[in-house]
Structure 1
């Protein structure tokens, strides 16, 4: 089901990349980074890197972390992980974030994932991209982003065909 601008970036528009390269959260077993944001007139793609390392975690805890983060087919329920992303913006903002794509890999002692989250519409002013992962020791933290700056960048986006 295609719900239009709310669920994915426009298919025939070249977005404008905005470098961010900032840590959202860092802990003993996990790191979350926003690498960049790609701005479109109808929203933005947030490029997120998630890394985890086993370290001193017991093998059964690590196995659960890796299992819970494994991608599932679209017809299955979402993973049971307690890794959560969120958006906090000014009062009255009613946007949503959807995971649009991603890739991941794991080994006996590490996990890495690149995720792209679609946020639509763009918040009109500053907003917080939040993350929490209590199971790996990350309390809720936020990275402030400027919705107005992303909207200005989106003005440079172009349709593939005139």
Structure 2
């Protein structure tokens, strides 16, 4: 007999089913999305570009991948430090509502949403009225003496396939006026055909 022979057998509790995430809260966890490579500018100037790189289309909604770059144009060191701080001031940050990047969506039926915070803080509630536009991930960023680059991802629910939708952005502190581009309902609908589920059962 060895030292561990008389150890009691482990008793594992019954496995509890994981709660199903509501559709408004984020993409399905078992889907590979259809991808639309948009590559369009929401704003472009000598100072800054703000672009929608791509859209990941899921059965319930889509992820919008925005990226921006600001370059130094005659700023003093103190001014540039302020620009660098502002370059990371996007939805989800504490000061974004006052001067940071504002992103919104406008549906053809008049529905709209503004991404001022993360997804609605009502876990387990399936009765959220859409549309929902929420910061779902902040990409990496980089800054140096000449340039600031950053990105963020936004979850849009429901998927607007009935009519074209307007994506709207504004960033007053960095000189970006209210600007918009159209999300094509036809292209979003076509991307649905490219979604693949991980498992059939």
Checking the alignment, whether the CA contact within 8 Å between 1:53 and 1:109 is kept in structure 2 is yes
Deviation, 1:139, is 0.7
CA distance in 2 between counterparts of 1:61 and 1:17 reads 39
SS in structure 1 at match of 2:82: helix
Q: Mind listing any 5+ residue stretches in structure 1 that lack a counterpart? A: none
Which residue number in structure 1 is paired with residue 53 of structure 2? 35
SS in structure 2 at match of 1:6: helix
1:17-28 matched pairs, under 5 angstroms: 17-28=35-46
* Structure showing the higher strand proportion among its residues: 1
Which residue number in structure 2 is paired with residue 47 of structure 1? 65
Which residue number in structure 1 is paired with residue 105 of structure 2? 87
CA distance in 2 between counterparts of 1:96 and 1:65 reads 30
For 1:79-99, what per-residue CA distance to the aligned partner results, in whole angstroms no more than 9, with x for missing partners? 564211111112253312112
- Judged with a 3 Å threshold, the aligned counterparts in structure 2 of structure 1 residues 27 and 15 are, in CA distance, closer, same or farther, namely same
Number of corresponding residues: 159
Which residue number in structure 2 is paired with residue 151 of structure 1? 189
Moved more, 5-14 or 146-155: 146-155
CA distance in 2 between counterparts of 1:84 and 1:132 reads 5
Larger radius of gyration: 2
- The structure 1 segments of at least 4 consecutive aligned residues displaced by more than 3 Å after TM superposition are 68-72, 76-81
Aligned-residue RMSD, C-alpha: 2.4
What TM-score results when the alignment is normalised by the length of structure 2?
A: 0.70
Moved more, 60-69 or 29-38: 60-69
